[in-house]
Amino acid sequence: MGDGDDDDLAAVPSGPVRVRVPAKINLHLGVGPARPDGYHELHTVYHAISLYDEITARPGDTLTLTMQGLGVGELALDDSNLVIRAANALAATAKVPAQARLHLRKQIPLAGGLAGGSADAAATLVALDTLWGTNLGRDELARIAATLGSDIPFLLYGGTALGTGRGEAVSPVLARANRWSWVVAFADGGLSTPKVYGELDRLRAEGRAPAPLGSSDELLSALRQRDPAVLAEALGNDLQAAAISLRPQLAETLAVGDKAGALASLVSGSGPTCVFLARDDAHGADVAAALTESGLCRGVQLAHGPVHGARIG
């Protein structure tokens, strides 16, 4: 064994590797027509917010997954779980045995429109790239991520980023540092992302969907102005009408936020989570109090963005 190999071995940790990963919202989600492969062409602006899942990876003889938090008893922990799929994809690419004990601490709700499953996959790639000493780095991990799901590459990088294609082609938005205050309102139960896209296609075919959003240019220029009132005007989500059509109560939740003075109220991704832009955290606390009082939400939380993507520590 040469010196280089010794160095590589020394770099592989034997203890747990813990990775925290944020949820995403879409500041702009423009949905084009369905492509021949069934995916819709997207132009979106992703934004990572301070609501986190956590993956801990330890050495093991086989590949196992345990979990705590939201979704226990509901989320399968077998090969269908995005955590296991991400681990197997990394092992296959790096040609290493897929062996690790993985534990998921879940705070991002299932099927909430916050890309929680994608976040867990991104965290797994980062954790195992370190535990296994494969050291592929973010860009190579992003290539593996794109084969697993459209939102996963973004969650490796975090921040605010433009997504094109089916969302997997990500380029960071070089906005001057700013801290945006959000209120996140969780709903009971989830919404299936494919069903929401299907509902949008149906509404469009019947001429009942709002006009599709244009490009993300207005949103990008609003981000540069660093004024939450300007950003509020530019936020938009083509999936919102479809999510409300499937879950009419979401319109009431959005109306509570509007009435409480939120600068903007919108469905996050495919829903049913709703997000509200506030002037600052104190204003956010007022909006959150009104949403809690309405009794329409399973829970309400303050968050801020942008935050980093999947990271050790």
Interface with ligand ATP, residue 63, by CB under 6 A: no
Judged by CB under 6 A, the residue of 91, 115, 127, 267 near ligand ATP is: 115
Interface with ligand ATP, residue 55, by CB under 6 A: no
| Cα–Cα distance for residue pair 56/51, rounded to 1 Å | 17
Interface positions, 129-188, toward ligand ATP (CB under 6 A): 151
24 as an active site residue: the answer is yes
- Residue 76 CB neighbours (<10 A): 10
> What is the b/e burial string over 227-258, where b = at least 16 CB atoms within 10 angstroms of the residue's CB?
ebeebbebbbbbbbbbbbbbbeebbebbebbe
Nearer to ligand ATP, 243 or 260 (CB): 243
Judged by CB under 6 A, the residue of 27, 63, 75, 296 near ligand ATP is: 75
| Cα–Cα distance for residue pair 55/102, rounded to 1 Å | 7
Interface positions, 246-285, toward ligand ATP (CB under 6 A): 269-270
- Residue 287 CB neighbours (<10 A): 28
Interface with ligand ATP, residue 83, by CB under 6 A: yes
Interface with ligand ATP, residue 22, by CB under 6 A: no
Interface positions, 189-208, toward ligand ATP (CB under 6 A): 193
Tell the smallest beta-carbon distance from residue 226 to ligand ATP (Å): 27
| Cα–Cα distance for residue pair 122/141, rounded to 1 Å | 8
| Cα–Cα distance for residue pair 249/243, rounded to 1 Å | 10
Query: From the candidates 120, 129, 151, 238, which is the catalytic residue?
Result: 151
Judged by CB under 6 A, the residue of 31, 55, 82, 264 near ligand ATP is: 82
Using CB under 6 A, which of the segments 81-89, 135-143, 176-184, 296-304 binds ligand ATP?
Answer: 81-89
Secondary structure (3-state) at 284: helix
Interface with ligand ATP, residue 57, by CB under 6 A: no
Q: Is 102 exposed, middle or buried (0-12, 13-18, 19+ CB in 10 A)?
A: buried
Using CB under 6 A, which of the segments 107-115, 170-178, 215-223, 259-267 binds ligand ATP?
Answer: 107-115
Judged by CB under 6 A, the residue of 44, 56, 81, 240 near ligand ATP is: 81
Altogether, the residues listed in the chain come to a count of 313
Tell the smallest beta-carbon distance from residue 177 to ligand ATP (Å): 26
Strand partners, 127: none
What is the DSSP secondary structure assignment for residue 16, as one 8-state letter?
-
Nearer to ligand ATP, 82 or 156 (CB): 82
Identify residue 36 by its one-letter amino acid code: P
Tell the smallest beta-carbon distance from residue 9 to ligand ATP (Å): 31
Strand partners, 274: 185, 267
Nearer to ligand ATP, 116 or 158 (CB): 116
- What is the Cα 11 distance to its own chain's centre? 30
Question: Please, what is the end-to-end C-alpha distance for the chain in angstroms?
Answer: 32
| Cα–Cα distance for residue pair 262/66, rounded to 1 Å | 38
Tell the smallest beta-carbon distance from residue 112 to ligand ATP (Å): 5
Nearer to ligand ATP, 134 or 270 (CB): 270
Strand partners, 185: 274, 300
Interface with ligand ATP, residue 116, by CB under 6 A: yes
Tell the smallest beta-carbon distance from residue 66 to ligand ATP (Å): 12
Active site positions, annotated: 24, 151
Q: Residues interacting with ligand ATP, by CB under 6 A?
A: 75, 81-83, 110-118, 120, 151, 193, 269-270
